[in-house]
């Protein structure tokens, strides 16, 4: 007789992960719930939301009659996610901390804890996503020891697992999973991948999970929550006052507290001006932010961008790209942004390995003006 499969499910205290755990139980698996605490501070109203979320996750485990564990990755989150977040902003770029958090915390720290400490056959989360494996295929996956040394990055993964979009195209969260490792992906189950958010709420209502069903949709930065962005960032970075300057006539329109606070394409809130202005360019030396009127201003649009080191989910670049040095694909830089047709062309920075080369993305149609990270949705 086959032993009951053990699945460790990440619980956040929200409805999505709660229903994910419920569905795993219905499939007959031995399920363990784990809550991760990764941020150690109060919100702007003096409330520690992590404690409330932990209580809600524990209550889910009581209702489902499954074991509950709590782990802390505060140090790891600070070193691997938040420090990177601050460094990127200081350089004038806009990072997506949820992508980095999934890569380093949920699908690395939590993954190894579940497998090595709790003896999990697989892990699960409440993300709206799918993979190319059925549950039983996930359970058959074994850890593959990678060669050390020079050829480590060239190690071939046979029958690589694919990351697939969720059935609910509006809730699809594969964007946030775009840098998850092949090792973790091949041992992960996404119980909500074939469901809509509305149906997930219906399941929660029918199974005594009202306390998570009534919670607001989680917004803002992964594990930190929704904040006053400018105030929050200036707690960690020194203000660098400068001017808003019109891209059309170089007229000074107002002042700001730091050029790094703004994202290209973002609406700039300039005091005293009724009409909207949008960020076109930033001068990190002088501290000025150049803006343009109207959302459709030509200065806001680009048809070419360059990428840094590429993360391939299958760990190897597609054969067509290797053969032709370019390939047609689809592109998005923001969650829920419509996919745009583009051509990816391989390039290489001197000293960079061929298989991890940077690339140039040429869009077939103009991209949308960018928006900051505060406003995307990660699973509850």
Catalytically active residues, by annotation: 101, 222
Dihedral sign computed on CA atoms, order 64, 174, 230, 253: negative
Relative orientation angle of helices 197-205 and 15-26, to the nearest 10 degrees? 70
Per-residue burial over 265-291, b if 16 or more Cβ lie within 10 Å, else e, is bbbbebeeeeeebbbbebeeeebbbbb
Between CA 224 and CA 86 the distance in angstroms is 14
Cα 44–Cα 240–Cα 306 angle in degrees, nearest 5: 95
Cα 43–Cα 200–Cα 182 angle in degrees, nearest 5: 75
Q: Which of 280, 274, 305, 273 is nearest to 295 (CA)?
A: 280
Between CA 118 and CA 107 the distance in angstroms is 15
Distances from the Cα of 285 to the Cαs of 196, 214, 288, in angstroms?
47, 48, 8
Contacts of 14 (CB under 8 A, 6+ apart): 53, 56, 126, 212, 215, 218, 379, 380
Residue 168 DSSP class: S
Distances from the Cα of 229 to the Cαs of 7, 38, 333, 351, in angstroms?
37, 19, 20, 37
What is the pairing mode between strands 163-164 and 130-131? antiparallel
Between CA 86 and CA 1 the distance in angstroms is 52
Question: Where does residue 368 rank: exposed (0-12), middle (13-18), buried (19+ CB within 10 A)?
Answer: middle
Stated length of the chain: 380
User: Could you give phi then psi for residue 18, rounded to 5 degrees?
Assistant: -65, -45
């Amino acid at each position: 007789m086959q032993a009951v499969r053990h699945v460790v499910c990440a619980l956040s205290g929200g409805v999505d992960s709660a229903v994910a755990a419920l569905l795993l139980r219905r499939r007959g698996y031995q399920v363990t719930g784990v809550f991760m605490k990764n941020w150690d501070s109060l919100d702007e109203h003096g409330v520690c939301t992590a404690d409330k979320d932990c209580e809600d996750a524990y209550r889910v485990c009581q209702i489902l009659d499954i074991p509950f564990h709590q782990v802390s990755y505060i140090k790891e989150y600070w070193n691997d996610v938040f420090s990177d977040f601050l460094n990127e902003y200081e350089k004038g770029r806009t990072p997506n901390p949820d992508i980095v958090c999934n890569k380093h915390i949920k699908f690395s720290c939590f993954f190894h804890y579940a497998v090595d400490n709790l003896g999990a056959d697989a892990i699960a989360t409440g993300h709206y996503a799918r993979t190319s494996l059925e549950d039983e295929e996930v359970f058959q996956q074994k850890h593959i020891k990678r060669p050390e040394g020079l050829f480590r990055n060239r190690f071939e993964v046979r029958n690589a697992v694919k990351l697939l979009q969720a059935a609910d195209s509006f809730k699809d969260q594969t964007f946030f999973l775009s840098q998850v490792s092949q090792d973790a992906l091949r041992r992960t189950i996404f119980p909500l991948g074939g469901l809509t958010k509305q149906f997930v709420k219906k399941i929660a209502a029918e199974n005594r999970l009202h306390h998570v069903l009534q919670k607001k949709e989680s917004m803002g930065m992964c594990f930190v929550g929704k904040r006053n962005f400018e105030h929050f960032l200036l707690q960690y970075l020194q203000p660098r006052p400068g001017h808003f300057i019109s891209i059309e006539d170089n007229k000074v329109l107002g002042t700001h507290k730091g050029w790094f606070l703004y994202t290209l394409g973002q609406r700039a809130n300039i005091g005293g001006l009724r009409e909207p202005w949008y960020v076109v360019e930033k001068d990190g030396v002088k501290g000025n932010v150049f803006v343009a009127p109207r959302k459709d201003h030509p200065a806001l649009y680009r048809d070419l961008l360059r990428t840094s080191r590429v993360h391939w989910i299958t760990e190897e670049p597609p054969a067509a790209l290797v053969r032709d040095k370019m390939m047609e694909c689809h592109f998005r830089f923001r969650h829920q942004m419509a996919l745009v047709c583009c051509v990816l062309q391989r390039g290489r920075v001197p000293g960079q390995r061929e298989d991890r080369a940077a690339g140039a993305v040429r869009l077939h149609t103009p991209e949308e003006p960018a928006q900051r990270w505060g406003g995307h949705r990660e699973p509850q």
